[in-house]
Each structure stands twice: as C-alpha cells, then as structure tokens.
Amino acid sequence: MISVKNLSKTFGDFSAVEDLNFDVKPGDIVGFLGPNGAGKSTTMKMLTGFLQPSQGDITVFDMPISQHAKSIQERIGYLPEGAPAYGDMTTYQFLKFIAEVRGFRGNEKEQRIRDVIQKIELQEVVNRPIENLSKGFKRRVGLAQALIHDPDILILDEPTDGLDPNQKHQVRELITQLAKDKIVIISTHILEEVTAVCNRVMIIAKGKLLFDDTPLSLQQRSRYYQAVTIHLSYLADISGLAELDGVAEMEVEQKTGHVTLFPEPGQHILHEITAHVQRAKLPVDTLFIEQGRLDQVFRDLTTEVA
C-alpha cells in the first residue's frame, strides 16, 4: 500500500509536482500518463526514495519513506527512465551485482539470475557488455534488474520505450502476469498501453493530478465512446440516420467518407442503426463501434491546464 499526501516538489522556482494525493493498493496496475515534463518521472523518483519531496508525505506499507527508505527500497523494483545500467558489465555480471546487493547468495542467487534471464528472454546477450546492446535489450536488462528480487512494488518508468511491437506485447504480458497482489506503477506516453495493461489511470500535467479512475471511465469521457462509425460503398441518402432514436449527432468526415453517429449519453444505438441500414438498404461496407478516442481525451485534459 502506497499512500501519497500533499506531495510537492520544486526545483528552484520551477514546480515539478504540485500537491498530489493518491493511494495505491495491492492489485492496482496504475498507468501514469502525462505530457513530457508533466512530473511523472519526478513523482516516481520520490516514490522510490531517490528524491526527497519538498513537501508532503509518502508512506509505503505504513512506513514513512523519509525514515525507512532502505527497507522500503528492498521491496521495490525500479526501472529508472532510460534504463540506466553499468555499460562496462555484461548482462550476467550486472544481474549478479544486483542480486548480490539485493542480498542473494550462492544457489539462490544463481537460480534467481537464471529465472529472470529466462523470463525476459535475455539468453542471447548474457555474456555481452551492456553498452553494446540494442536499445530494446538494454530496456529488458533494466526490467530484469527490477524483477530479480520479486518485489512487492514495481515502478517502471517507460518500460516499453524503444521496444518493437513484439517486445512491447511481451513486456505487457509479463506485467499482467506479475501484477497479481502487487502494486505496479508504469509511466508511458502510449495511450493504448494503459487500456491493455492497467486497471487504473492517473493523468498528470504541470505537476497536477487531473484524472484518477479506470481506463474504461477515461474512454467514457470521449465523445466517441460507444459511437458508431459506418462507411458506404457508394453515395446514398443517409439523412435518416441522424433522426434515429438515441442518436444525438452525426458527423461526416470529408476525406475518408466515414460517417460517425454519436449516441445520447447512456444510449446504445447499434441496433437502431443496423435496423435502419436494413430498411433503407444502405450500401454499408464498414461498421464498427468506437471505443473512445483516448488521444482526444488526453489532449482535452492536458491542454486545459496549459
């Protein structure tokens, strides 16, 4: 359990984080969203005890981090931004170093290293110096380092940055697998990642917490949530669509010819539309329900404070 109260951090005149309040419980997979410079990394640095807050308190498992930083850090796995590591060490040497610092000795140490190498699929780079690895492998070594002690809290700053789509998928799978009964906090720019992995979203911008709820309710904020988009093979009279029960508005996108029908709040309009399409024999070749356009919501939320 992490509890953050009135957390603020200033660097000189610049206020990086302003008055954050939130609690995170085991089982939560929190997606930390925000534009660059929003204060995501600064918040994570304070949660891991790297930075001291200018104001406010952080309590982890009922211990204030200001007094128990080291015992809390034993239970945290942290991937810092950019996945820094010691470039002159090989992957194995680096993981061994981390395992030793984490207090593992002998067989258990070797077992943990083997397990994590297998889990993150690092076999082919085990004996290569980290500085010679590709960006994706560096990130994975950073991830391995954060997981080696099976921590109760996992804090990952942009874990999928620089990975290819396959690796991204793999990391997301891994996080979902690991997350049972743990606290996971990941920061990302990638909005789809949040719906794919997280069960809770926090959006911060300019150091302020703007949104804290489930990914679903973030989607529901979108005008496009549960809207229906269709495309016609050739021109036909679509004026009837706008008149249907529950349809609040119709929009036609000139470039692509997609027609989007927005429902009135809480209404499901799919069956009305399909019925009308049947009746009017409209030449529909595409029809889908919108899930909510997160980028739009994100822009709306984060530009309000700008």
* Contact positions vs other proteins (CB under 8 A): 45, 48-51, 70-71, 73-74, 76, 78, 80-82, 84-89, 93, 97-98, 100-103, 129, 145
Q: How far is the CB of 95 from other proteins (least distance, A)?
A: 12
Give whichever of 72 and 238 is closer to other proteins, judged by the CB atom: 72
What is the residue whose two structure tokens read 């409209």?
A: 282
Give whichever of 35 and 151 is closer to other proteins, judged by the CB atom: 151
Nearest C-alpha neighbor of 270 from the set 261, 282, 281 = 261
Give whichever of 138 and 200 is closer to other proteins, judged by the CB atom: 138
Contact 144, 113 (CB under 8 A): no
Nearest C-alpha neighbor of 220 from the set 176, 267, 175 = 267
Q: How far is the CB of 85 from other proteins (least distance, A)?
A: 6
271: phi then psi, degrees, rounded to nearest 5? -65, -35
Cα 117 to Cα 50: distance, rounded to the nearest angstrom: 27
Q: Quick one: 243 exposed, middle or buried, by C-beta within 10 A (0-12, 13-18, 19+)? A: exposed
Alpha-carbon separation of residue 105 from 95, 96, 98, 100, 102 (angstroms): 13, 10, 11, 6, 9
Q: How far is the CB of 78 from other proteins (least distance, A)?
A: 5
Give whichever of 43 and 145 is closer to other proteins, judged by the CB atom: 145
Give whichever of 100 and 213 is closer to other proteins, judged by the CB atom: 100
Q: Which residues, in sequence order, are CB contacts of 159 under 8 Å at separation 6+?
A: 79, 139, 143, 171, 175, 186, 188
Q: How far is the CB of 41 from other proteins (least distance, A)?
A: 10
Contact 168, 268 (CB under 8 A): no
Give whichever of 70 and 279 is closer to other proteins, judged by the CB atom: 70
Q: How far is the CB of 79 from other proteins (least distance, A)?
A: 9
34: phi then psi, degrees, rounded to nearest 5? 165, 155
Q: How far is the CB of 70 from other proteins (least distance, A)?
A: 5
